């Protein structure tokens, strides 16, 4: 997939394209329905499939104090968009100046003139242009005016429409399995491994601590079974702790992953410090609680490892 960072990166001799538009935070199954339709339509028309998306998220620009936390970082969003089979993604730097464009100006200058669209594939709830003044019906009017087809994709979901908001709700409750069902894949965080308080190592459970600025929503406090993926793309089973370490009266929330069943050979040399790793959350094992004494905590941590190993043994990966 081609990744065009900004309008100036779009080829001047752009082939006919089928275009879709969205923030695509999380790239959940509802998004994938739209994206898959765009890819299919492009193949039918011998055109290129192109997704337009934005960074930063428009809500972070218009209402930074109340904008939702992003489900995934930019790198993972681009990688996931590539995985659906798109020919290209156009990333537009979203600014207040950009937001001043009228709905028609956005369509004419970018979708028509820059991307040479022969079709636009969107959900029926699409909004675009200044003040979100453009909607699905207006896109159809502009399609008639500028000569491109508009294909609407129905919402996905039985009792509730699949959405990024729903994913955030499930992660906030620690329901990583439910979030994965909406996303179509496990929720993940990505970040650098940094030094922590080293309490886990002292207790016999060394952990890889994610830096506070890591990308991706931190799920609810608790212990999870999951995977650590290192820079070499090796997947390691892990018991993942999220919280403030109440047994030790911690304050700040941290994400730390204890890799289980590490190779005995070179055990002491198994070092992830400084690496950019991915942590995938598969199953919630228990809430975070404070224990009376170190022995009770160690006993529980041993049990966490046993549970995590059992859960992950059934996971296909």
Per-residue pLDDT tens digits for 241-295: 998 764 444 446 899 999 997 765 444 446 788 999 999 999 999 998 877 678 8
Q: Return the residue matching tokens 């003139």.
A: 113
For position 250, what pLDDT does the model report?
47
Query: Whole-prediction pTM value?
Result: 0.92
For position 145, what pLDDT does the model report?
98
- Cβ contact 281:176 at 8 Å: yes
Q: How many CA atoms lie within 13 A of 156 on its CB side?
A: 21
Look at residue 50 and tell me whether its pLDDT is greater than 60. Answer: yes
Residue 46's φ and ψ, nearest 5 degrees, are 55, 45
3-state secondary structure the chain: CEEEECHHHCCCCCCCEEEEECCCCCCCHHHHHHHHHHHHHHHHCCCEEEEEEEECCHHHHHCCCCCCCCCCCHHHHHHHHHHCCCCEEEEEECCCCHHHCCHHHHHHHHHHHHCCEEEEEEECCCCECHHHCECHHHHHHHHHHHCCEEEEECCCCCCCCCCHHHHHHHHHCCCHHHHHHHHCCCEEEEEEEECCCCHHHHCCCCCEEECCCCECCCCCCEEEEEEEECCCCCEEEEEEEEECCHHHCCCCCEEEEEECCCCCCCHHHCCCCCCEEEEEEEEEEECCCCCCCHHHHHHHHHHHHHHHHHHHHCCCC
- Cβ contact 186:176 at 8 Å: yes
Per-residue pLDDT tens digits for 168-202: 999 999 999 999 999 999 999 999 999 865 555 55
- Cβ contact 216:73 at 8 Å: yes
Q: Catalytic site residue 256?
A: yes
79: closest CA among 24, 34, 41, 126? 24
Per-residue confidence at 22, pLDDT binned at 50, 70, 90? very high
Which residues make beta-bridge pairs with 281?
Answer: 187, 226
For position 252, what pLDDT does the model report?
67
Q: How many CA atoms lie within 13 A of 173 on its CB side?
A: 10
**Residue of 33, 104, 256, 280 with catalytic role:** 256
> Alpha-carbon distance 253 to 212, whole Å?
8
Q: How many CA atoms lie within 13 A of 113 on its CB side?
A: 9
118: closest CA among 31, 60, 38? 38
For position 170, what pLDDT does the model report?
98
Maximum Cα–Cα distance across the chain: 73
> Alpha-carbon distance 164 to 295, whole Å?
41
- Cβ contact 155:122 at 8 Å: no
Look at residue 298 and tell me whether its pLDDT is greater than 70. Answer: yes
């Amino acid at each position: 997939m081609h990744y065009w960072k900004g309008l100036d990166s779009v080829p001047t001799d752009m082939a006919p394209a089928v275009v879709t538009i969205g923030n695509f935070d999380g790239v959940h199954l509802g998004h994938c329905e739209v994206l898959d339709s765009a890819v299919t339509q492009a193949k039918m028309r011998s055109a290129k499939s192109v997704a337009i998306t934005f960074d930063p998220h428009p809500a972070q620009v218009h209402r930074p104090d109340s904008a939702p936390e992003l489900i995934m970082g930019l790198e993972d969003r681009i990688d996931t968009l590539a995985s659906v089979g798109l020919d290209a993604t156009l990333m537009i730097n979203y600014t207040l100046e950009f937001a001043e464009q009228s709905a028609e100006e956005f369509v004419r200058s970018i979708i028509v003139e820059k991307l040479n669209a022969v079709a636009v594939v969107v959900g029926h709830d699409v909004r675009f242009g200044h003040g979100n003044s453009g909607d699905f019906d207006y896109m159809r009017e502009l399609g008639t005016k500028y000569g491109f087809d508009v294909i609407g994709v129905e919402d996905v979901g039985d009792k509730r429409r699949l959405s990024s908001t729903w994913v955030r709700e499930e992660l906030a409750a620690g329901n990583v399995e439910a979030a994965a069902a909406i996303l179509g894949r496990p929720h993940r965080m990505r970040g650098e491994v940094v030094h922590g308080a080293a309490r886990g190592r002292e207790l016999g459970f060394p952990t890889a601590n994610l830096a506070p600025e890591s990308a991706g929503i931190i799920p609810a406090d608790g212990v999870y079974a999951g995977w650590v993926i290192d820079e070499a793309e090796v997947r390691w089973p892990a018991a993942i702790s999220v919280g403030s370490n109440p047994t030790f009266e911690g304050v700040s929330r941290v994400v730390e992953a204890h890799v289980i069943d590490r190779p005995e050979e070179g055990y002491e040399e198994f070092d992830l410090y400084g690496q950019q790793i991915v942590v995938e959350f598969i199953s919630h094992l228990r809430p975070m609680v404070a224990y009376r004494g170190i022995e009770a905590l160690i006993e529980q941590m041993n049990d966490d490892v046993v549970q995590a190993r059992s859960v992950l043994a059934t996971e296909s990966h």
